[in-house]
Amino acid sequence: MSFDAVIDVKDVTKSFGGLTAVNKCSLRVERGSITGLIGPNGAGKSTLFNMVAGNIVPDSGSIYFDGEDVTGVPPYKLFARGLLRTFQIAHEFSHMTALENLMVVPGDQPGERLANIWFRPDFVRKAEHHVRQKALDVIDFLKLGHVKNELAGNLSGGQKKLLELGRTMMVDAKVVLLDEVAAGVNRTLLQDLAANIERMNEELGYTFFVIEHDMDLIGRLCDPVIVMAQGEVIAQGPMEEIRANPEIIEAYFGSPVEAA
């Protein structure tokens, strides 16, 4: 399969006071890929992720999304363009059901305008039915039918992560940024989560950019894997090559001898 870059980061730098968190970093996320981003604590992964997501503005360099310069574009505008992010801690609406959590995702729904409710009630009902049916389809895809009417706050950590994936499906995202998707998820549900990421990639064409500390999950899902250390990209390739790279072992463990 031939790819083209849907995210292209060029010479991006970000400092906080006297600390340079990301230093002239460049990387590409190819369309249709599941690209992993790994590195030791303090490598600059989260800062880079936050710049791509629009939460932090870089000091210099450029970020391109789908061929357009989006450097400094805020998250809500990136959302509208199809760049979505999930979080290490799921951000569900705890007092709404799982189904309702999905239904509120699409923006600019007719029912949000009071005039439509008064003067175009049939139009509002039809649009709401369409959104509800899409949410039910997403629930079925993720095999969450047994909890669709459960309050989201009562779901397990893994179910909440699946629900976050479902929210990205409600707006047909082009790229999903996954931040520590394995955090707080038991091993059984983690397998379900991984399987659904693979299905969304293979069957629906989603592109994923993943920060993760679980190397087994990265090894299962991601190709390529990008490695950061001290704010810079130091390697990129399949996980088998990454695991065998002495420079990466040194970055994680201090020296190849100690790592052995």
The number of beta carbons lying within 10 Å of the beta carbon of residue 255 is: 10
142 or 23, greater pLDDT: 23
Give the separation between CA 194 and CA 8, rounded to whole angstroms. Answer: 25
Give the separation between CA 259 and CA 249, rounded to whole angstroms. Answer: 6
At 226 the pLDDT is: 96
- How is 224-254 classified by DSSP, letter by letter? SEEEEETTEEEEEE-HHHHHT-HHHHHHHHS
Q: E strand or H helix at 112, and its extent?
A: none
Q: With 70 as the cut, is the pLDDT of residue 76 above it?
A: yes
Q: Name the pLDDT band for 103 (thresholds 50, 70, 90).
A: confident
The number of beta carbons lying within 10 Å of the beta carbon of residue 127 is: 16
110 or 254, greater pLDDT: 254
Q: Name the pLDDT band for 250 (thresholds 50, 70, 90).
A: confident
Are 155 and 92 in contact, with CB atoms under 8 Å apart? yes
At 117 the pLDDT is: 60
Are 158 and 217 in contact, with CB atoms under 8 Å apart? no
Crossing angle for the helix pair 187-204 and 157-169, to the nearest 10 degrees:
10
Domain ranges of the chain: 5-90+174-259, 93-154
Instruction: Give the contacts of 94 (CB within 8 A, at least 6 positions apart).
Output: 151, 152, 153
- Could you give the percent of the chain with pLDDT greater than 70? 86
pTM exceeds 0.85, yes or no: no
At 2 the pLDDT is: 39
Q: With 70 as the cut, is the pLDDT of residue 84 above it?
A: yes
Q: With 80 as the cut, is the pLDDT of residue 113 above it?
A: no
Q: Which two tokens stand for residue 107?
A: 């923006």
Mean pLDDT of all residues belonging to the chain: 86
**Residues 140-199: tens digit of each pLDDT:** 988 899 999 999 999 988 899 889 888 888 887 889 999 888 887 888 888 888 999 999
Instruction: Give the contacts of 199 (CB within 8 A, at least 6 positions apart).
Output: 141
Which CATH fold topology does 5-90+174-259 show? Answer: Rossmann fold (3.40.50)
Query: What torsion do the CA atoms of 50, 52, 58, 63 make, to the nearest 10 degrees?
Result: 180
Q: How many helices (H) and strands (E) does the chain have?
A: 11, 10
Phi, psi (degrees; rounded to nearest 5) at 16: -125, 105
At 170 the pLDDT is: 86
Helix, strand, or coil (residue 219): helix
